[in-house]
C-alpha cells in the first residue's frame, strides 16, 4: 500500500460504533473463555476475519484510489471511502509487468493455472488476465482464494468478462500445479508479539480493562529467530502463521512457482537492535496509526514480513528460492520502464510510485519460489538479494 497521510481519523458514525461494539463483545467473550487473556495473534485474527464483523468481512470499502488534492481526513474519507491503495489500484502497469514473470513461469514449469491469494478488488487479476491474453499465453483457469466475502463480490463484478475462466475456492487441493501470486497477503496474517522487558522475554497479549482493550505481557519461552543485541526494552513480532501458510503451499505444490510481494525485510534487518518498537501498523481512511486496540474492525492491521522466515519455511517444504529483490528491481526487470515510456504523463507519474525508493520501490520486496531446480526467473535478472536472506 502507498505511504499514508498523517491525519486525524474521521469520527465514527452510528453504524460504525455499532460494529465496533459488536466485535468488542465477541472478542471480550473469547478473552473470558480463555481465562482473561489472549495472544495478539488471536486478537488480530478476530479483528480482521471475524465473520460479518472483522475488517475484511464487514463490507467496508477498504481498498481504493488515493484522492488527488485532498488534504483533510474528511476529504479523504468522502472522496475515496477507502483505507489504502495497493499497487494494482495505483497503476495497471503493475499487473502488466508481473504478467511477464507469470508467463515465463507458466511456460518453464509446464503449468496452465494461476492461483491468486487475497485478490482485493480484483484489479490485479484483471491486469494479469488481460496481459496474458494479449501475449497469447494459454491459461486453463485463474483461481482466487479470498477470505473476504464482500471483496469476492467486487472481484466477481470486475472479472465478469472472464467468468468462464475465473473460479473462487475456499480451500487448497491435495495437489497443486500452478503459478501462485500473492500481493500484500503475508502482511495481513496474524502475528505474535514479543516484548523484552528488563532482559526477560514476554508474549504480549490482550485483556479487557473495564470499557476497553488493554495490553498484558506474560513471560514466555518464545523467541525471535535472531538474538537481539543490547539490554534495552524491545518489541517485535514472530510470523508463525504466515510461515505455516508458505509451508503448506510448498507441501501441496507439485509443479509451478510462487511469487509473493509485500513490505518487509530479511531477518538481519527485521530484528535489528534499533527496530525496538516493532512493525505493527493500522490503516484507515488513507492514514496510519499504531494502535490496533482502538476502533477494532474498522482498521486494517498489518505487520512487515520477515522474508528470511518465508524462505526458510519454503525450503522446509521442499521449495527452492528463485530470487529475492526489491519491487523496483523486480518490476524494471519485467519491463515496467519500457511500458511507462509508451504512456501519457499522468500514467507515468502514477507508475513511478511503484519503483521510486521513497514510495513503494524499496520498502516492498518480492520473493520467488519454485519446485525442483531453480531457473533464471526474469524478475530477478538484476539486483537479486537472495544472499541477504
Contacts of 262 (CB under 8 A, 6+ apart): 182, 183, 184, 185, 186, 187, 304, 305, 364, 365
Per cent of the chain over pLDDT 70 is: 92
Cα separation, 49 vs 118, in Å, equals 13
* Res 79 pLDDT > 60: no
Which distant-in-sequence residues (6+ apart) come within 8 Å of 297 by Cβ?
A: 19, 20, 23, 47, 50, 53, 54, 55, 58
How many angstroms separate the Cα of 30 from the Cα of each of 27, 36, 204, 207?
A: 5, 9, 16, 10
Cα distances (angstroms) measured from residue 60 to each of 65, 257, 306: 15, 33, 29
pLDDT at 190 over 70: yes
Separation CA 178–CA 102 (nearest Å): 10
- Domains, in order of start, for the chain: 87-190+238-388 (3.40.50.12710)
Q: Answer whether 311's CB lies under 8 Å from 321's CB.
A: yes
Number of helices and strands in the chain (H, E): 13, 16
pLDDT digits (tens, 9 = 90+) for 133-144: 999 999 999 999
Confidence band, pLDDT 50/70/90 cuts, at residue 276: very high
Q: Assess whether pLDDT exceeds 60 at residue 98.
A: yes
pLDDT greater than 50 at residue 193: yes
Q: Where are the alpha helices (DSSP H) in the chain?
A: 14-33, 40-49, 73-80, 87-90, 93-109, 123-134, 149-158, 240-252, 267-270, 307-316, 327-333, 336-341, 345-352
Do residues 144 and 155 make contact, with C-beta atoms less than 8 angstroms apart? yes
Helices (H), 253-324: 267-270, 307-316
**pLDDT category of residue 149 using cuts at 50, 70 and 90:** confident
Pairing type for strands 166-169 and 234-238 reads unpaired
- At 80, list the grid cell: 475515496
Band (374; pLDDT cuts 50, 70, 90): very high
Q: Which of 337, 341, 332 is nearest to 378 (CA)?
A: 332
Residue 335 reports pLDDT greater than 80: yes
Residue 286 is predicted with a pLDDT of 78
- Across the range 358-365, mean pLDDT stands at 96
pLDDT at 76: 35
Q: Are 212 and 31 in contact (CB under 8 A)?
A: no
Residue 205 host element (H or E): strand 200-209
Better-scored residue on pLDDT, 230 or 11: 230
Confidence of residue 73 (pLDDT cuts 50, 70, 90): very low
Mean pLDDT of 183-194: 98
pLDDT of residue 285: 83
In this predicted structure, the answer to whether residue 78 has a pLDDT above a threshold of 90 is no
The average confidence (pLDDT) of the chain is 92
- Give, rounded to a whole angstrom, the gap between the first and last alpha carbons of the chain: 23
Checking if the pLDDT of 212 tops 90, the result is yes
Average pLDDT over residues 106-122: 97
Residue 1 has pLDDT above 80, yes or no: no
Percent of the chain with pLDDT over 90: 87
Tell me, yes or no, if the pTM score tops 0.85: yes
Torsion of CA 92, 94, 95, 101, to 10 degrees: 150
pLDDT recorded at residue 256: 98
Instruction: Give the model confidence (pLDDT) of 53-70 as tens digits.
Output: 999 999 876 665 544 443
For the cut 50, the answer to whether the pLDDT of residue 206 exceeds it is: yes
Q: Please name every residue paired with 177 in a beta bridge, in sequence order, or none if there are none.
A: 255
Amino acid at each position: 500500500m502507498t505511504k499514508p497521510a498523517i491525519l486525524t481519523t474521521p469520527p465514527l458514525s452510528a453504524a460504525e460504533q455499532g460494529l465496533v461494539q459488536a466485535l468488542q463483545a465477541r472478542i471480550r467473550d473469547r478473552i473470558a473463555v480463555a481465562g482473561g487473556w489472549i495472544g495478539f495473534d488471536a486478537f488480530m485474527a478476530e479483528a480482521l476475519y471475524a465473520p460479518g464483523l472483522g475488517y475484511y468481512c464487514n463490507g467496508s470499502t477498504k481498498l481504493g484510489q488515493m484522492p488527488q488534492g485532498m488534504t483533510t481526513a474528511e476529504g479523504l474519507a468522502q472522496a475515496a471511502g477507502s483505507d489504502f491503495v495497493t499497487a494494482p489500484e495505483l497503476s495497471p502497469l503493475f499487473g502488466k509487468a508481473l504478467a511477464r514473470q507469470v508467463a515465463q513461469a507458466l511456460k518453464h514449469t509446464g503449468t496452465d493455472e494461476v492461483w491468486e491469494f487475497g485478490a482485493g478488488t480484483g484489479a490485479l487479476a484483471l491486469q494479469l488476465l488481460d496481459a496474458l491474453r494479449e501475449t497469447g499465453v494459454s491459461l486453463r483457469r485463474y483461481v482466487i482464494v479470498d477470505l473476504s466475502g464482500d471483496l469476492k463480490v467486487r472481484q466477481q463484478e470486475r472479472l465478469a468478462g472472464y467468468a468462464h475462466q475465473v473460479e473462487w475456492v475456499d480451500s487448497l487441493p491435495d495437489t497443486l500445479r500452478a503459478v501462485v501470486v500473492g500481493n500484500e497477503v503475508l502482511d495481513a496474517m496474524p502475528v505474535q508479539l514479543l516484548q523484552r522487558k528488563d532482559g526477560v522475554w514476554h508474549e504480549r497479549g490482550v485483556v479487557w480493562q473495564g470499557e476497553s482493550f488493554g495490553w498484558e505481557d506474560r513471560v514466555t519461552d518464545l523467541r525471535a529467530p535472531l538474538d537481539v543485541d543490547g539490554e534495552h526494552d524491545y518489541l517485535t513480532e514472530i510470523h508463525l502463521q504466515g510461515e505455516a501458510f508458505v509451508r503448506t503451499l510448498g507441501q501441496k505444490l507439485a509443479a509451478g512457482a510462487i511469487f509473493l510481494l509485500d513490505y518487509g525485510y530479511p531477518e538481519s534487518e527485521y530484528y535489528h537492535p534499533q527496530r525496538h518498537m516493532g512493525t505493527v501498523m493500522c490503516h484507515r481512511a488513507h492514514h496510519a496509526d499504531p494502535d490496533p486496540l482502538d476502533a477494532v474492525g474498522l482498521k486494517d492491521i498489518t505487520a512487515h514480513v520477515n522474508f528470511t522466515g518465508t524462505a526458510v519455511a519454503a525450503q522446509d517444504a521442499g521449495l527452492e528460492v528463485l530470487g529475492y529483490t526489491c519491487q523496483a528491481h523486480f518490476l524494471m526487470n519485467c519491463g515496467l520502464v519500457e511500458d511507462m515510456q509508451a504512456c501519457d504523463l499522468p500514467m507515468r507519474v502514477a507508475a513511478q510510485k511503484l519503483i521510486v525508493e521513497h514510495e513503494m520501490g524499496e520498502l516492498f520486496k518480492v520473493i520467488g519460489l519454485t519446485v525442483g531446480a531453480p531457473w533464471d526467473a526474469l524478475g530477478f535478472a538484476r539486483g537479486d538479494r537472495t544472499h541477504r536472506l
